[in-house]
Structure 1
């Protein structure tokens, strides 16, 4: 059973990194407590202590890589993001997030760089934009894969209420959770997370059909 000291050690890790994969947390718990079997119980114990500070550790799955992880979020109006970034960085980050969401969940890096002067009234140059994007990736706010930017699991979890309020996004037809980047059924266009579809394929013993329209399901995942 995890002691108070164990909880403090793992909480310190979350406060520093904010994101840890499920497998990495299990390894960390094995080293600290001698057992990796009570991750959820430990996270619940930590959450009881940090909820008064508008903080919470939640499970998330990366929409791009499928990695399962825990992320530490702040639940008070994106206050933590705003405290970490300068005004120019914030003024660039929000339009970036908007363009990623409204571009089916991904945005070409070159497009993201070129839009910086226009969306910040020329306060952010192309050189600044490149540095800011590196910072956003370093802080786990954005994910950069193969020349495209995506919202990270941390950002989706922390900005969930903001995204829900400002964007009409249909949830994944399988897990029913928010979907920013994914695929869709070719017959009814119902959205689906790539990892959810892979899990669905793996667990299905019969012909794979869309849970919504019941047509044959073939998604390029």
Structure 2
């Protein structure tokens, strides 16, 4: 099929959301194209994006396992990029949260820790402003939230991966099964390897039980129930300009984990 307005509308929907969950993406493609061959449509879109050094990637939320379509650049560096609408204080808070998530042993930080962090920052940020900002980061999938804890969001995993590799290369872990970098997963008590929860559950379906893919040590059942933050969006409302997603560059030095 020739690349047409239907493809552009799918791309604009992904750009608008930053990370579009697969269920809504399938519904959109079914309505526009009359089929659910999402892989074919995404491949056609990516073929057009390739000369622009952009891509639509499919990535799972590490907390819920939900698959998202994320629009990102294929050229990344150690600079973490965000929209200029965010203040320096907000970005300082976010980078400190990133540092704690990456260097922690559990892949998450508590909401209480995040708000208390405001009083220790070099830049002024009220708890009310921080709470509103963190809600926005979850809504835009830069962070994920479950049971009062913040995890790495799918957009951060895709769009800032090179930044994390350059800044925290000694702290990053790799999933035992998919061999991709992971920030939150199930750790084996026997051999200390870590596996994405959704990778482990798919593995368990074929094995008949949860066990470490590396040493086969039994692993306790992990609950994956989570909250999705989906907003409604009609096809007729999709009209996004490229310059709306232009982001400014901000650099942050490596931080050490504090217990």
**Does the TM-score normalized on the shorter chain lie above 0.5?**
yes
2:176 corresponds in structure 1 to 173
Alignment pair present for 1:95 and 2:99: no
User: Aligned residues, how many?
Assistant: 217
Post-superposition shift, 1:219?
Answer: 3.5
The Cα offsets for residues 38-72 of structure 1, whole Å up to 9 and x where unpaired, read as x1222122223234444221010111001112111
Cross-structure match for 1:62: 61
SS of the residue aligned with 2:16?
A: helix
Corresponding residue of 1:212 = 214
Q: Separation in 2 of the partners of 1:197 and 1:211?
A: 8
The whole-number CA distance in structure 1 between the counterparts of 2:112 and 2:211 is: 38
* SS of residue paired to 2:182: coil
Q: Partners of 1:48 and 1:197 in 2: how far apart? A: 32
**Greater mean alpha carbon deviation, residues 1-10 or residues 92-101:** 1-10
Contact 2:21 2:67 in 1 (8 A): yes
CA RMSD for the aligned pairs?
2.0
1:167-217, CA deviations, whole angstroms, 9 ceiling, x for partnerless residues?
Answer: 222201011111101111121011011111111110125x7653323x433
Cα deviations by residue, 1:73-115 (Å, 9 ceiling, x for unpaired): 2344456524452322212211111112222211110110110
Distance 1:202 1:158 in 2: 31
In structure 2, relative to structure 1, the CA distance for the partners of 1:76 and 1:189 (3 Å cut) is closer
Distance 2:211 2:102 in 1: 27
Which aligned pairs between 1:46-61 and structure 2 lie closer than 5 A?
A: 46-61=45-60
| TM-score normalised by structure 2 residue count | 0.77
Tell me the SS of whatever aligns to 2:150.
strand
Aligned partners of 2:211 and 2:116: how far apart in 1? 41
- Structure 1 residues 122 and 110: alpha-carbon distance in aligned structure 2, compared to 1, 3 A threshold: same
Aligned residue number for residue 153 of structure 2: 152
Contact 2:118 2:126 in 1 (8 A): yes
Question: Normalised by the size of structure 1, how large is the TM-score?
Answer: 0.89
| C-alpha spacing 1:124/1:53, structure 2 compared with 1 (3 Å) | farther
Q: Greater relative contact order: 1 or 2 (C-alpha under 8 angstroms, separation 6 or more)?
A: 2
Listed as ranges, the gaps of 5+ residues in structure 2 are: 223-259
Shift of 1:139: 2.0
The alpha carbon displacement at 1:136 in A equals: 1.3
* CA distance in structure 2 between the aligned counterparts of 1:126 and 1:208, rounded to whole angstroms: 41
SS at match of 2:174: coil
- 8 Å CA contact 2:108–2:150 kept in 1: the answer is yes
